[in-house]
Chain A
Amino acid sequence: MIRRPELPAVHEYYLLGCMTMCALVAVVLGVAIVIAAWTTRENWDRDVDPIVSARSTHGKELVLRYGCTSCHVLPLAAPEGAVGPPLTHIGSQSYIAGSFPNHEIWMTLWIENPQRLKPGTAMPNLNIDERDARDIATYLATLR
């Protein structure tokens, strides 16, 4: 009579597979959560939408590229112009140019075409397209 090796029962196999899978899924999920938390660690205290934060970063670059800092003071390492009003706390102001509510929609319109909104203002039209203007408005809204 040939002796067969002792094999575990079927339910033991099942239990082993289940535990392995559970452990794998737990590890993968845990790593994913840690990575996600680490990449968004700057927004923990502010509860910022990642899209908003991407727009605001782009807006910050555009502010330097279009030369906003040659007239306005902004919290950036750039020339500090005193031609227009300082924008260091524009996000907490109530009005834009003393005329329009400080909402992102109005700010976008203002940046796109200040001459249409308030004819005769000293701020020139800089031929900024809508998307760029929106990103700049998003950035300005973060300056509280």
Chain B
Amino acid sequence: MLAGTIIVLILGGISVVIDVRSLALILRAPDSGLSIVIVDTGEWLQVCYSRGETSFIAANELHVPAGALVTIDWRGPNLVGWSAHDVSPIAEGQSSLIARDAGIDDVWLVRLWPAPRQRRLRIVADTPATFERWFQNESRPAVPTALAPLFTSSGCSYCHVIRGVNEKPWKAAPDLTHFAGRRTIAASMIPNQRGFLAGWIVESRALKCTSKMPPNPLQPAVLQQLLHYLESLQ
């Protein structure tokens, strides 16, 4: 009885201290005015940023300014987010996120029911200046180049969107407008490098067996140019 009481008191005390610390962080942090809607499509995450008049859609990697309050609106199943720094439930609806320092954190999105499954969400916290530069760049459509028609002619635009090249469809596959600026592909699982990217385009299921992207046996010359084009999307 006494031992039980002591354990409950200690655990309660720890949780109160943690709550007070995070509360202090929330109260002191300035509001960045940024709200992010994350739509879980099952295989990948659609990330919609909006701040004031500016809003745009990106995918998979979550960029946030360090030290400021960000509103997250999760549209998807209830999960547990598990990272090196934090374990917290992720439920449908709005919540707040503060990244204390600049850096990269990989959060595992763990689901236990109906079938155990885990995916990865990469949170990139930038310093406010870097974030501002990233935000301004990301909100612009892609720079038109001579290789852009290749994106449409080789069939990518049936599922993917590059703002400035095609406008639809929105939810079939990740937005690729500033693809070269991303660190990873395949929902944050594979490094965004040419060798992986070429294999992914032609036969994505070799790299990720649950991938919905169909095989694309492109003409070799077309594949080379497409790689150049995707790498130019800064």
Contact = CB atoms under 8 A, between A and B. Distances in A.
Contacts of A71: 195, 198-199, 202-203, 206
Interface string A49-91: 0000000000000000011111100000001111100000000
B214 to A, nearest CB: 14
Interface string B143-160: 000000000000000000
A67 B224 contact: no
Contacts of B190: 67, 70
A115 interface: yes
Interface string B106-121: 0000000000000000
B103 to A, nearest CB: 23
The dominant DSSP class at the A interface is loop
Contact of B193 (A66, A82, A121, A122): A66
Contacts of A83: 198-199, 202-203, 206
Given A80-B206, A81-B206, A124-B194, A70 B200 contact: yes
Contact of A68 (B191, B195, B197, B224): B195
A120 B223 CA distance: 10
A11 to B, nearest CB: 74
Given A71-B199, A82-B206, A83-B202, 13 more contacts: A66-B195, A67-B190, A67-B197, A67-B199, A70-B199, A70-B206, A71-B203, A81-B206, A82-B203, A83-B203, A120-B220, A122-B223, A124-B227
Q: Bin chain A's interface residue count.
A: 10 to 19
A79 B189 CA distance: 13
B56 interface: no
